[in-house]
Chains A and B, each alone.
Chain A
Amino acid sequence: MKPTAPQPPERRVEAVVLGASAGGIEALFTLLNGLPPSWSLPVVIVLHVPENHESHLPQIFADRLHLPVHEAADKMPLAAGHVYFAPPGYHLSIERDRRFSLSCEPPVHFSRPSIDVLMSSAADAYGPALAGMLLTGANEDGAEGLQRIQQAGGITAVQDPNEAQISIMPQAAIALHSPDHVLPLRELRALLLQLESAHAH
């Protein structure tokens, strides 16, 4: 599929949700490394990790990014410019009052946390004021969640499967709906920065 060039978003976005699986850490570094310290959108990430292990993702990313990075906690409010990772072994949702909630429901697509769960709940909470991005991965989690975001009027973007380390996840999303953007990571980062400037002004 031919990547589409990013268009200046006319909609005001208030939060970004990201999903990734195999190959995701490297992809997220490339995507987020360019964000300036003045970055003001909350970014919520589900990266598939094994259950029953403490996740070191928040620390790893805090060391690399110039942004505050946390493990999302139950009932914690989303704060501007902060980056959140879902804890291992729990599904992460965003509620209407824009606080997180955790749950131990069974895995979705063999994954807990599940990208579909985060994205669907975020679509309910933010409606059109949400952007969702799906990156590299070896299963189909996230396709349905991204579709929900689009149905709620939000912006959807998928990593170009030709560039993704594992293309199954982006391809599943493209097969299920027509993402607003299919882009390599470098251009997804440019899109993020555009979303931010539309948010800030």
Chain B
Amino acid sequence: MSNTEIELRLLMEAIYLKYSYDFRNYTVASQKRRVLHALAQLGLPSISALQEKVLRDPALFGRLLQYLTIPVSEMFRDPAYFLALRQHVVPILHTYPSVKVWVAGCSTGEEVFSLAILLREEGLLSRTQIYATDINPASLEKARQGIFPIEAVRGYTANYQRAGGRSSFSDYYTAAYEAARFDPSLCADVIFADHSLATDSVFAETQLVSCRNVLIYFNRELQDRALGLFHESLCHRGFLGLGAKESIDFSSYSQRFDAHSQPERIYRKAT
């Protein structure tokens, strides 16, 4: 094992012991890139030096957390996924008197707002409870605010249309000062909460879990843990949506979900 990998492992152990954030089962290649990027940004010479500072300075840990959890998302990312939800999942959700949706690893909220818009257009939002969870408190705060750079929103508009949007995307936000503030009523029934797929347990029975481009950062052991939580949370024949290039094929849950919309990575809890 290289020195860098030893230092990386020790840093994650230290963070876990000190702050209870568990990054120990994240994939190494991406984690290493992010920590080396943080070193450069923070002007520190080595991962060991970073570890020493992080242990004594919670504020510095807060900054490091932003690098470790890379909030990279966009609204209606992979429009085919949202179109498939609209066409193949929403009609079944309509058969429930009330619906619970869990957006796991919601980051800065782009997926939450996308889903809320979709559910409102399909007449479901008023009886849907959305749980939006993430480990990063700064990301959750941004998600709560629902303010996104206007520059990015222009790109989201095309995604929205390809996702089968029924309205004009600009109906959902007010633009001011280079930012777009999304209609707060979209998130009136969203609960934003701190939750770790690595250390926390299930908190509700849900009909749909949407967890996109999160599992790729986990090793197989942690992927299994997260899929176990989703399986436990989902009701009988509940739906699980993953990122466009994610699958359960290499997990021990491959037999416990059925493919529902295969290219769009929507699975259904197996009986």
Residues of A within 8 A of B (CB): 73-76, 87, 89-91, 93-96, 99, 101-106, 117, 120-121, 124-125
Contact = CB atoms under 8 A, between A and B. Distances in A.
Interface in B202-256: 213, 215-217, 219-220, 223, 244-247, 249-251
Q: What are the nearest 6 A-B pairs in CB distance?
A: A93-B29, A75-B250, A121-B29, A103-B30, A101-B27, A102-B216
A95 B245 contact: no
Contact of B30 (A76, A105, A125): A105
A153 to B, nearest CB: 12
B70 interface: yes
A102 B245 contact: yes
A74 B215 contact: yes
A75 B217 contact: no
B27 A73 contact: no
B33 A75 contact: no
A151 to B, nearest CB: 11
Contact of B216 (A96, A103, A120, A121): A103
A74 B29 contact: no
Given A74-B245, A93-B30, A104 B213 contact: yes
A74 B33 contact: no
A106 B74 CA distance: 12
A195 B175 CA distance: 59
B98 to A, nearest CB: 33
B27 A93 contact: yes
Contacts of B245: 73-74, 87, 89-90, 102
Given A73-B247, A74-B247, A105 B27 contact: no
A183 B165 CA distance: 52
B70 A73 contact: no
A89 B81 CA distance: 15
B114 to A, nearest CB: 16
Given A75-B251, A101-B27, 14 more contacts: A73-B250, A74-B215, A74-B216, A74-B246, A93-B27, A95-B219, A99-B220, A99-B250, A102-B216, A103-B29, A103-B216, A104-B72, A105-B33, A124-B32
B247 to A, nearest CB: 6
Contact of A105 (B28, B34, B220, B247): B34
Given A95-B28, A121-B29, A75 B72 contact: no
B95 interface: no
A76 B250 contact: yes
A15 to B, nearest CB: 15
Contacts, number: 67
B185 interface: no
Nearest to A73: B247
B70 A95 contact: no
Given A104-B72, A105-B70, A106-B72, A75 B29 contact: no
Contacts of A76: 249-250
Contacts of B244: 89
Interface in B8-62: 27-30, 32-34
B250 A117 contact: no
A105 B72 contact: yes
A62 B81 CA distance: 27
24 contacts: A73-B245, A73-B247, A73-B250, A74-B215, A74-B216, A75-B251, A76-B250, A91-B30, A93-B30, A94-B29, A95-B27, A95-B29, A95-B219, A101-B216, A102-B245, A103-B30, A103-B216, A105-B30, A105-B33, A105-B34, A106-B70, A124-B5, A124-B28, A125-B29
B30 A75 contact: no
Most chain A C-beta atoms within 10 Å of own C-beta, residue among B213, B215, B216, B244: B216
B271 interface: no
Contacts of B216: 74, 90, 101-104
Contacts of A106: 70, 72
A92 to B, nearest CB: 9
Nearest to B215: A74
Contacts of B29: 93-95, 101, 103, 117, 121, 124-125
Contacts of A121: 29
A51 to B, nearest CB: 11
A120 B33 CA distance: 10
A91 B251 CA distance: 21
A93 B30 CA distance: 8
B2 interface: yes
